């Protein structure tokens, strides 16, 4: 096959893969993210029903990430060895079962248990998909591809927030459930189980397994990815080397700061909006809170794709991450001193933009020096340490709210950790460029 024919075939294969894989994977992640954060809407009525305090809720919301943390790296290494088709299907079916089982919790202890089990069940899904995308798409397009995939997160709030609110508002008595939040948990877990079964039959592990590619396209795409990894990354490193690489540890700290902001917004934004009633003398129904919550995520979805495309065009990564993190930090700090619901929501929207625009570009940084099983381990470690902030953030925010009666201290914590992420990303920019050279 001559070079020009191979390039055309690769381009055609990439387009087909983008159309076939990205929407499907995005749908899976939409359900994944919704099943872990719908507890934020359940809290509007669940906490009172079960007598759960703000601190206990924050602890339970965050305990998800304890199970997630310990099983993340092993799960990603297993995915690399057995293939995405089998392992992603297993992850989805088990998390769907646990998510639906949340409908039956009776108090703080059962709430804590089911959140830990949900984290164990989900461990490996997101980093596994990030790894899986490296098997299919050339480096110069990956930020855009990850951004399109990651659209599932803001869309899960744009779509899921009103849906969750409607299920809570109208679910009491349906299927015998005594509260709408119970029906919501049960109903939103079922699609994950069904799609997990579909993954087993529909998801090809590598380009060579895709029946919807021609033989020439399979060969050219696989060869292009392999050649690029050899040329730009070099030798595949071991799991141990990846886990002890200082660059991996630095990126773990950056991701910790970014994800701190993501999950504080996810778990507490509905309650912050509900608090406008006391702060600004406003009144919103559960459905209205859901619609207002969706606004920052809708704006962030558009900004995320545009920022990722800009990063792909310029080839610059770390600076894009730093700028986005600083935008998030400054805007959430400013939000604490604004005098109307509209102005506060504008600032919160800018914070969401900062969080979401940072993430797709961020995942191109470890891909610059990791491949193979080293990438599986390194990406898993970064994601597990980063998502540890999913425990620290909700617990700390809930504890501070219970201590002070306000979310202000929790929002200052978001500003601090996102600023930290920005500064580390700036220092990493020089290290990353030297490593590539």
Is the per-residue pLDDT at 365 higher than 50?
yes
Tracing tokens 């778990």 back to the chain, one arrives at 267
Residue 235's pLDDT is what? Answer: 60
Q: How far apart (Å, rounded) are the C-alpha atoms in residues 36 and 110?
A: 16
Q: How far is CA 318 from CA 234, 304, 433, in A?
A: 21, 15, 9
pTM for this model (two decimals): 0.76
Residue 379's pLDDT is what? Answer: 82
Is the per-residue pLDDT at 437 higher than 50?
no
DSSP 11: H
Report how far Cα 403 is from the mean position of its chain's Cα atoms: 29
Residue 436's pLDDT is what? Answer: 47
Is the per-residue pLDDT at 218 higher than 60?
yes
Residue 431's pLDDT is what? Answer: 57
Is the per-residue pLDDT at 112 higher than 80?
yes
What would you report as the CA-atom Rg of the chain, rounded to the nearest whole angstrom?
21
With bands split at pLDDT 50, 70 and 90, how would you rate the model's confidence at 299? very high
With bands split at pLDDT 50, 70 and 90, how would you rate the model's confidence at 325? very high
CA-wise closest residue to 368 among 139, 141, 77, 145:
139
Q: How far apart (Å, rounded) are the C-alpha atoms in residues 163 and 141?
A: 33
Instruction: Kindly state the percentage of the chain with pLDDT values over 70.
Output: 95
47 neighbors 57 (Cβ within 8 angstroms) = yes
Q: How far apart (Å, rounded) are the C-alpha atoms in residues 309 and 227?
A: 24
**Residue range 348-359, pLDDT digits in tens:** 899 899 999 998
Q: How far apart are the first and last CA of the chain?
A: 31
**Residue range 31-44, pLDDT digits in tens:** 887 877 788 778 88
Contacts for 1 with CB less than 8 Å, ≥ 6 apart: 9, 216, 219, 220
411 neighbors 336 (Cβ within 8 angstroms) = yes
Report how far Cα 98 is from the mean position of its chain's Cα atoms: 19
Q: How far apart (Å, rounded) are the C-alpha atoms in residues 140 and 431?
A: 20
**Residue range 186-212, pLDDT digits in tens:** 999 999 999 999 999 999 988 888 899
Q: Give the CATH H-level superfamily of domain 12-205.
A: MFS general substrate transporter like domains (1.20.1250.20)
Token pair in block for residue 271: 């309650």
Average pLDDT, integer, range 153-180? 83
Is the per-residue pLDDT at 313 higher than 70?
yes
Q: Structurally, what CATH architecture does the domain formed by 237-431 represent? A: Up-down Bundle (1.20)
With bands split at pLDDT 50, 70 and 90, how would you rate the model's confidence at 128? confident
Q: How far apart (Å, rounded) are the C-alpha atoms in residues 153 and 363?
A: 15
Residue 54's pLDDT is what? Answer: 78
Q: What is the mean pLDDT of the chain?
A: 84
Contacts for 144 with CB less than 8 Å, ≥ 6 apart: 305, 308, 309, 312, 360
Judge whether 12-205 and 237-431 match in fold: yes
Q: How far is CA 1 from CA 4, 216, 224, in A?
A: 8, 9, 13
**Residue range 286-295, pLDDT digits in tens:** 778 878 888 8
> Helices then strands (H, E): number in the chain?
19, 0
- Domain ranges for the chain: 12-205, 237-431
Residue 110's pLDDT is what? Answer: 93
DSSP 107: S
Average pLDDT, integer, range 55-72? 81
């Amino acid at each position: 096959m001559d070079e020009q024919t191979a390039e055309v075939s690769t381009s055609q294969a990439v387009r087909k893969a983008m159309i076939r894989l990205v929407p499907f994977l995005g749908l899976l992640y939409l359900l994944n993210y919704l099943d872990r954060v719908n507890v934020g809407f359940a809290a509007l009525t669940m906490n009172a029903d079960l007598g759960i305090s703000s601190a206990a809720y924050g602890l339970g919301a965050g305990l998800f990430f304890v199970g997630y943390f310990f099983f993340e790296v092993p799960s990603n290494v297993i995915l690399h060895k057995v293939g995405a088709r089998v392992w992603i299907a297993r992850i989805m079916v088990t998390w769907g079962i646990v998510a639906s089982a949340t409908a039956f919790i009776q108090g703080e202890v059962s709430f804590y248990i089911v959140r830990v089990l949900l984290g164990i069940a989900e461990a490996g899904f997101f980093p596994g998909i990030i790894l899986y995308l490296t098997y299919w798409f050339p480096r110069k397009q990956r930020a855009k591809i990850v951004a399109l995939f990651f659209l599932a997160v803001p869309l899960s709030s744009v779509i899921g927030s009103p849906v969750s609110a409607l299920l809570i508002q109208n679910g009491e008595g349906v299927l015998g459930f005594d509260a709408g939040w119970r029906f919501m948990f049960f109903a939103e877990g079922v699609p994950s189980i069904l799609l997990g079964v579909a993954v087993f039959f529909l998801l090809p592990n590598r380009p060579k397994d895709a029946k919807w590619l021609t033989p020439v396209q399979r060969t050219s795409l696989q060869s292009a990815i392999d050649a690029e990894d050899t040329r730009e990354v070099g030798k595949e490193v071991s799991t141990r080397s990846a886990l002890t690489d200082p660059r991996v540890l630095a990126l773990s700290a950056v991701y910790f700061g970014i994800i701190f902001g993501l999950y504080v917004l996810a778990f507490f934004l509905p309650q912050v909006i509900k608090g406008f009633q006391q702060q600004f003398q406003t009144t919103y129904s559960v459905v209205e809170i859901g619609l207002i919550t969706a606004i920052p995520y809708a704006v962030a979805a558009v900004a995320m794709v545009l920022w990722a495309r800009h990063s792909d065009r310029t080839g610059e990564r770390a600076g894009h991450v730093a700028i986005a993190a600083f935008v998030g930090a400054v805007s959430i700090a400013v939000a604490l001193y604004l005098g109307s619901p509209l102005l506060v929501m504008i600032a919160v929207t800018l914070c969401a933009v900062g969080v979401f625009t940072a993430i797709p570009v961020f995942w191109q940084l470890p891909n610059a020096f990791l491949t193979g099983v080293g990438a599986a381990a390194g990406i898993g470690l970064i994601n597990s340490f980063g998502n540890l902030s999913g425990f620290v953030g909700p617990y700390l925010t809930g504890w501070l709210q219970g201590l002070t009666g306000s979310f202000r201290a929790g929002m200052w914590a978001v500003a601090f950790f996102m600023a930290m992420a920005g500064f580390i990303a700036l220092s990493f920019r020089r290290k990353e460029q030297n490593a590539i050279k």
